[in-house]
Amino acid sequence: MGIIRGGDSEYVEHEPSFEEKTAKWEKTLQPLLEEEPSSLKLSGKYISSDDVKIICNYPGVKTVRVLDLADNQINDEALSVLFESENFAQLEELFLGINFLIGQGLTDIACSSKIKLKNLKTLVISDNRLTDASVADFIRSTNFPNLESLDVGWNEVGNETAKALGEATSFSSLKTLILERSYIEIEGLKEMVQGDLMDQLQELNISANKLKDEAVKVLVSAPKWKSLKILRLSQNMFGDIGAKALGESTSLAGLTHIYAGRNYFGNEGAQAIHESKTLTNLKTLVLKEGVEEDVGLVNYSRPELLRPDDPNSI
């Protein structure tokens, strides 16, 4: 298309064809894979759905075990292409954080009978716009039996996902679950903590979910957590009552790391955790955290996910 910019000058706007994109990607991928055959880092490359199709069709990616596609423009349409790719059948770690995923793609791969990524051990899909229903669909899926670590934080995860986690029977390898900056409330938490999955988790991050005292009491008194070592509860809304319940918990006796800063408890609650007679295996205890100013830790694009400082504004 010719675009005239004053005078007699004419500029031509050219959209590369699929073939041209393919040729360009082949030139990009070949040296990267020659340098590191098992790892492909493509974060922040403005990758779109067409690009994902080209990358999946490139035979050289068959050796890749770690694929980083974070901070791109990948949408729901591309998920099925990626997860059903024969060339990525041996993939073990996949990073898709900060993309354009809204949920339908996640539901599609949860229900698909053509999934090839059966060896996937780590999946990061944080900081998208995934709906609660779509994440719940993924949790109900039987397609990912070898998944060990799942990060769905910074999405619209809520009580439906929590309920699905309470009912889950197909994630027998899952050890790390990240639900940071989500919308899980006490109703969903009650169902979640009854699930068998809770006994196999080694790390649970449920920071910034607006959990109040009663919710923390539900969490720490559940007769589960046989394997849990790391618990992250920062940036919630519990005070001294919740802190005391945490300090008196026998279910969490195996914890080695607790992060509970930026909550509403005072010296009394902090002392109850610090001087706990049951949490005797702790190696790391964080009770106070400063306000993070690192741009990588503050989601300026989605301020509604940040917990307000004023509890009365909730």
What domains are defined for the chain?
18-313 (3.80.10.10)
Largest Cα separation within the chain, whole Å, is 83
pLDDT of residue 306: 43
Q: Note whether 6 and 32 are within 8 A (CB).
A: no
Instruction: Report phi then psi at 124, rounded to 5.
Output: -115, 115
Q: Note whether 88 and 61 are within 8 A (CB).
A: yes
Q: Quickly state the pLDDT bin for 163 (edges 50, 70, 90).
A: very high
Q: Note whether 260 and 289 are within 8 A (CB).
A: no
| Prediction pTM value | 0.88
Q: Quote the CA–CA distance of 314 and 245 in Å, as a whole number.
A: 23
Q: Is the per-residue pLDDT at 3 higher than 70?
A: no
Between the alpha carbon of residue 71 and those of residues 65, 233, 282, 283, the distances in Å are: 19, 26, 35, 34
Q: Note whether 154 and 299 are within 8 A (CB).
A: yes
What is the tens place of the pLDDT at every residue in 262-313? 999 999 999 999 999 999 999 999 998 765 544 444 433 344 444 444 444 3
Q: What is the mean pLDDT of the chain?
A: 90
